[in-house]
Structure 1
């Protein structure tokens, strides 16, 4: 189950990478169309504004079709092979899923006409009740269905991946062999997904209420709920399951529900991005949404962790400082600019529980303080790019300066706490490893041209590798035997941490460059899809 959840969490990150980039364009576009920021003259330039409007239309289309993107992404991430077939089948499954639900809704005279606000008001309901009832449904790719948002895409992707893994290697009798193998997957998808659609027709109203209830509990918890989210999110980093928690607040009622122009928008990130498209967004609603987004990460990602890197560098032994300088500098820059923190976190979370708990508590406190101070900085990463684009450039109404002020205190706190704990408890952070470790670690850094083969050999050879995958920062592997790993060799390839989850599953932390490394490893192991 742990392995499966980690794969699921990783598969959810593919659309997030698109959303993060698209969100930056949307943020810049909203700034350039705001006369209070760029002036009336600039916003009156029709040619320029038409280009900006075009960009917003493209980005809006991405956000408007997130469910089907998640369906394809989950199917790709969970498929064991022939991933293109899995993606194709996921699209088929997604359409059939909602057509099935729509058909059964229509049997009960629930459709776009009968569930419109006007029709419900004409039937005797109040405008408020009619709006709430109408918000339970939406039109997806032209199909009237339940408003399931990203959840619908995820459940379809999970089912399609299971069907794919079961049938993509199936051989049929000679007479019908043409329909075997990967061609059988979309056929079986057509058979199985409508069953899921019928099931969700009955289950979703109950499940949706349950998810909304959890969201209400968090909302009623106020600042403590925000603190708890930030604290737990960091505690889950070693397992990789923090991705799942993040998606819950970004795309489900747990992250908030807002009525905008008569339409129900669900999820913190969805609400924020929708508000960015408005010329005069409701800042109170936006602040509620951004409580779980980038603003809570900025103090410790932009300021705290880079300061921790400086403390680790200063406390390294004199002869080791040159060696760890490049590693810590690269990790600090990644955290500062993009919010990618795992190369730093994996340098201390396994060698010092005290520093790990301190970091998680500071994360929760950061989220809570940003919420209490009324900061409104959205998007998903939490680096300086988000601080500038979604904070400073949008003006003082975002209260972005509080993130900087708190961040300065965070830098001091992280530096002094890390320095004190490392020296007081002799923590083995980079540059302070045991002498025996140093002897077993080759001094020569791996040749980049042979990086793939070196990593494969360090993992026990091609015959020891069952599957190779990666997320934003980690190489995720399933091995025959994790005891065959040579961690010393892996460190020469740029790995900053090796985490053995069990006898078969291991994660090697490389940082943002892991995508290229994964391709080289797959090439060397002859395991490309």
Structure 2
């Protein structure tokens, strides 16, 4: 029984970690997308006509340069995934893992190219797209897109996990340990590359089937995606669904400037980069669907929490709520607000899930064309307002005001009707210490919080693995019974998620990386080696 529990725990840990690794290339992509959006918006003929001062050679050269740099992440995204997955999942020798990801990805495509040449299946340059082939880092290979990077990255991770500390016979000891990982990677991925052309049609059939199901849902496709993402968020698995829609055939396929592009975000960036008209079918799964909820709905939730708090406590929670609103409104990081009510009232979170899905559906039905990833004010300005009225950016304001009213009145009614203990409504003897609400944010206070959190986690001896994503500590613990949930919340945790007997998530907020570093230092100072 214990073995089964451990196996299930390892499964949770793996899929959570996989979702987290997606955020490294996606974060870069979001920033590069902003550069691409700024460059494309200020070089368009319509913008130049309205702002004649932009029609200067030096200004246009600078803007084209910005646009070129912005397109970098889109062009090399599969390679970024191939490196980021082993880097993020590996607990030790992370640099070797990332280096091996690069080696594995290149060798895999070299091997695929060899197979295509030897079997006389290498397509002529004029018909690459029709043959499902393309150029990858100068190598003619199968057009695998991001999925190819993910496959290579996962294989490299498992090889790294198995061989990073291998001991070889004395004569070959130089090649042992971490040095063996890129070696076995090159050997294994060369063989995998010979097999992939035989099985790749089955992969594409599965992905295309998922895409057809979502696309076939018509107006409900964006709803299912938006609601599904929020449903998976408490478990930390939403990044996997998002990556599938953004970067694979599941998010649609289009021909842009003669090249086949798959994935909603990939299509959007390709159209933005080429100057082609933006298609509403791609943006239906992107930023525009988040904006009613992220820019208006969740700030309304924060206002409802503030207005229903005890008057004497409002000053205490103001900093927490303001930081949460800024996070969701500017960057699209929603957990600091969502976890204020997720555990108190799951039904309210269910309403939030439905409203988020409806936001995606309504914006798609209205024909908005605002892309990118975050759903905050930056995306609204860069990919909506600056691109011109054809994006229908003004609809965000109209729909957003409706969402603000719905969220505010629903949450205010539920909090008061059912006496939910949202921040500021707790009994005086159980009021939590709000992380970030204290004016003293010096090192002593940070260390003090880390000490208290580490104690509430059962001490360093109870922690097998410590890591974090954007807002949460992700831990593997030895004994879940040692976790003091009330103490965690007292000292700054917004929520505690026990996924199984060993996997634990502690929602901290935007400062989670700093908290994780402080806890890690405390553990190391006490002689405990941490992994993560």
SS at structure 1 position matched to 2:130: helix
SS at structure 2 position matched to 1:277: helix
1:120 equivalent in structure 2? none
Residue segments in structure 1 that go unaligned for 5+ positions in a row: 118-129
- Paired with 1:441 and 1:382, the residues of 2 have a C-alpha distance of 26
| 8 Å CA contact 2:465, 2:531 repeated in 1 | no
Residue 348 of structure 1 pairs with residue 341 of structure 2: yes
2:121 equivalent in structure 1? 110
| 8 Å CA contact 2:433, 2:491 repeated in 1 | no
- Paired with 1:517 and 1:17, the residues of 2 have a C-alpha distance of 20
Match of 2:37 among 2, 18, 27: 27
| 8 Å CA contact 2:35, 2:69 repeated in 1 | no
Residues 199-228 of structure 1 deviation map (CA, whole Å, 9 limit, x = unaligned):
322111121122123212222221111111
Distance 1:440 1:247, change over 3 A: closer
- Paired with 1:131 and 1:63, the residues of 2 have a C-alpha distance of 20
The alignment's TM-score, normalised by the length of structure 2, stands at 0.92
* Two-structure CA RMSD over aligned residues (Å): 2.1
Residue 156 of structure 1 pairs with residue 166 of structure 2: no
2:311 equivalent in structure 1? 318
- Paired with 1:176 and 1:456, the residues of 2 have a C-alpha distance of 43
Residue 10 of structure 1 pairs with residue 5 of structure 2: no
Match of 2:277 among 257, 279, 282: 282
Residue 365 of structure 1 pairs with residue 358 of structure 2: yes
The alignment's TM-score, normalised by the length of structure 1, stands at 0.92
Within 5 Å, give how 1:138-287 maps onto structure 2.
138-279=134-275, 281-283=276-278, 286-287=279-280
Q: Offset of 1:321 from its aligned partner?
A: 2.1
SS at structure 2 position matched to 1:498: strand
Match of 2:462 among 461, 464, 486: 464
1:379 equivalent in structure 2? 372
Residue 405 of structure 1 pairs with residue 398 of structure 2: yes
Q: Offset of 1:318 from its aligned partner?
A: 2.9
| 8 Å CA contact 1:115, 1:133 repeated in 2 | no
| 8 Å CA contact 1:74, 1:158 repeated in 2 | yes
| 8 Å CA contact 1:34, 1:43 repeated in 2 | no
Count of aligned residue pairs for this structure pair: 511
Comparing 336-345 and 175-184, the one that deviates more: 175-184
SS at structure 2 position matched to 1:394: coil
| 8 Å CA contact 1:441, 1:489 repeated in 2 | no
| 8 Å CA contact 2:431, 2:490 repeated in 1 | no
SS at structure 1 position matched to 2:497: strand
Comparing 323-332 and 430-439, the one that deviates more: 430-439
Residues 328-355 of structure 1 deviation map (CA, whole Å, 9 limit, x = unaligned):
1211111111111011111111111220
Comparing 37-46 and 406-415, the one that deviates more: 37-46
| 8 Å CA contact 1:257, 1:264 repeated in 2 | yes
1:499 equivalent in structure 2? 497
Q: Offset of 1:492 from its aligned partner?
A: 5.0
- Paired with 1:439 and 1:238, the residues of 2 have a C-alpha distance of 21
| 8 Å CA contact 1:452, 1:522 repeated in 2 | no
Q: Offset of 1:503 from its aligned partner?
A: 2.0
Residue 100 of structure 1 pairs with residue 111 of structure 2: yes
1:123 equivalent in structure 2? none
Distance 1:434 1:37, change over 3 A: same
Residue segments in structure 2 that go unaligned for 5+ positions in a row: 1-10, 525-529
Q: Offset of 1:441 from its aligned partner?
A: 10
Residues 505-526 of structure 1 deviation map (CA, whole Å, 9 limit, x = unaligned):
1111122222222222222222
Q: Offset of 1:311 from its aligned partner?
A: 0.4
| 8 Å CA contact 1:295, 1:377 repeated in 2 | yes
1:133 equivalent in structure 2? 130
| 8 Å CA contact 1:453, 1:525 repeated in 2 | no
Q: Offset of 1:451 from its aligned partner?
A: 4.1
Q: Offset of 1:402 from its aligned partner?
A: 0.6
- Paired with 2:71 and 2:31, the residues of 1 have a C-alpha distance of 13
Comparing 364-373 and 49-58, the one that deviates more: 49-58
- Paired with 2:298 and 2:431, the residues of 1 have a C-alpha distance of 25
